[in-house]
Structure 1
Amino acid sequence: MATHGWFYWAFLSAVFAALTAIFVKLGVQDVDSDLATLIRTAIILLVLAAFVMATGKWSNPLTLSPRTWWFLGLSALATGASWVCYFRALKLGEASKVAPIDKFSIVLVVLFAVLFLGERPSLREWSGIAMIAGGVLVLALKR
């Protein structure tokens, strides 16, 4: 199981992402979605800061390489943009419709990994990605 430890964490990520959709949908009913995103982000910052300190994982971020800072910065900008769009979509639409379309990111991750990281999915993996893409289309086109 140690070689597949990533699967455990990825599965938990999916569980928490699913709960996020439900909690956000309930939480944005009476507040602007951008303000809700800010509140969520502030809570995440506080919780993660406490977690990093409590687990002894704090190190001086100024010692990180410029490349690390660059890509973490880009990641933060992409995450922020994703959250703003996701919160707005959930404010306007049904969670059962918004969340599956949001998961089209799975298809995009694979495409970007091929283009930018040189990863090479197998035919079996491409088949799975095609099914995910098809499922997103079916869900997006339902009336």
Structure 2
Amino acid sequence: MWWIYALLSAFFASLTAILAKIGIKGVDSDLATAIRTVVILLLAWTIVFYKHAGAGLSGLSRMNWTFLILSGIATGLSWIFYFKALQMGKVSQVAPVDKASVAITILLSVLFLGETLTIKTAIGAVLIIGGTLVLVL
């Protein structure tokens, strides 16, 4: 079942690039990121309230808070740089380079989470990096 959500994520990430490229014409990329962030904030809290999941706030540990905040900072920086890249480059080049994050994530998951690096996963990461280099060069 997880793969259905992953495919939906990929589809909406793809739409994000196309819609953002159209939306940032003549707009400062940081302003565009801020507007997008407000929309995401409203959407996320609407879902939390709809599902009555807000009660879970009291159960969050200091570690939960720390790493969720750090994740939010990383996401924000990613979006800022992504929108700047979209404003300056072609979507067909920016989006695939952004997806090099998949290969970086594989490496970081091995280093920091202790996940096993299989030969299949390693080959996939190398192919992603190779494809990224082809698009950049």
TM over 0.5: yes
Counterpart mapping for 1:17-56 below 5 A: 17-56=13-52
1:137 maps to a residue whose letter is L
Q: Counterpart of 1:59 in 2: which secondary structure?
A: helix
Q: Equivalent residue for 1:8?
A: 4
Q: Give how far 1:131 is off.
A: 0.8
Q: Secondary structure at the match of 2:68?
A: helix
**Take 1:50 and 1:73, find their aligned partners in 2: how far apart are those partners?**
20
- Which aligned segments of 4 or more residues in structure 1 are displaced greater than 4 angstroms? none
TM-score normalised over the length of structure 1:
0.92
Mapped pair 1:134 → 2:118: no
Q: Which amino acid aligns with 2:11?
A: V
Residue 122, structure 1, aligned to residue 118, structure 2: yes
Q: Aligned partners of 1:121, 1:18: CA distance in 2, in Å?
A: 27
Residue of structure 2 in register with 1:90 after alignment: 86
Match of 1:78 in 2: 74
Q: How does 1:94-109 map to 2 (within 5 A)?
A: 94-109=90-105
Name which of structure 1's ranges 46-55 and 34-43 shifts more when overlaid on structure 2.
Answer: 46-55
Q: Which residue of 2 aligns with 1:67?
A: 63
Percent identity between the two aligned chains? 48
Q: CA RMSD in A?
A: 1.0
SS at match of 1:10: helix
For 2:45 and 2:121, the matched residues in 1 are separated by 37
Correspondence for 2:54: 58
TM-score (norm 2): 0.96
Instruction: Give deviations 1:56-96, integer Å, cap 9, x for gaps.
Output: 22215243100000000100000000000000000111100
Counterpart-to-counterpart distance in 2, 1:100 and 1:11 = 16
